[in-house]
Structure 1
């Protein structure tokens, strides 16, 4: 019967949401991956796990969406929704980020994190810190908008360079993957599982040459890509081909081999006591 989250507003009394039955995973090693796209219910979960010291939150500060709206039906069939309260974590942290800087700044707040370096440098998170709170185990956590992770993982800038943008514009890369699969379907279909594909598909030279030929026909030149960009593109050929073969299950099974947040999460799980 533990507190998961509560709501409260200026004109709304506090209402607690408690766990009511044994959980599905009350014991065992636990990490939760979050980033600036994690919002609302995912923040409630991350905040509760963090405040109860149940697991480790890994990634970057979450979006900060924690408002309660009440709907009023109008006589013409329309409806009006008013914000009446906020969501708070068990320790008392407001999940909702501030509107104090104005509407425009609020709407651009996530974009601003990329400009001010928050998503790349852990020390810039200090600027986002609000009022300190204590977890059940006595650790200091902060309110003021979103859930700040216990372990910071920077945004992978190498995966999204401007030079690579033209490859993925207008579905070009998707069309290349499909064409590559059709031309080499006998070869790719010999892989029966994503695990076999991960170990067996190492033909980076042929796949790169095919990509260059395809993109030349699309008036996209790859000769100016850096060596780091080239390595990233080769990773994407492998991950997207896995998606072609096994849909999203295959995609993530391959992608997780390269995802720094997943790699760090595995390392953190190994550190946790059994």
Structure 2
């Protein structure tokens, strides 16, 4: 008589099953994704604690399949193939297809660039960028990764993550020192976003830029992306920050509705602005 293994035993066996070549390939890809500069085979092998012999053939394979690019100086960088594969995945592809025409209209109306961001582990990923029609503009490279709390996009995505998942993610960010602020400040930032339905605050990375970020929801009501306008004040821009916020909120609702989300409203007018809001009452910043 045969006895079928319990489901838990099968799952444990699957996790313990080793595929050395695949593990080496994934180790290299994950290491390369974190590299800001081109690296040599020697540097790759040293970083992974593996011999040159162990990684040589894997590197050649990854280069041959288009995942790595070799420079004239025999250094390697990660290509955009993983990013392209991610965009072939139906949910992301659908999101980009729906958002693109709406974001083009938003950029034209607001005279501001805008981009679409999704959460990927402990960072955020830029999946779509539309430039402002004005000569001076702020653009973010497609496929760029940023720490969650360095961006308003990330803060909005974090705020609208289900509470249990959000608490676990905040724990990880604080423990790893990636929050760059006390936990109570993180919690207050999240509370402000949940109360307002958006974040509008001075950019932590670019002086003179105000980040305006609003959530994008799917048919289940889950927040799956953030639409962000990096607002640059200039003479040719027709709208001030609050007007751009209104336009961004309307665009987010339009994208969400196209993804099957229930009807919503642009929660902007009359809402309580956060302490970081440049348009809050009594703020001395110049209004364009």
What range is the shorter-chain TM-score in?
A: under 0.3
TM-score (norm 2): 0.22
Larger RCO (CA within 8 A; separation ≥ 6): 1
Say which one has the larger Rg.
Answer: 1
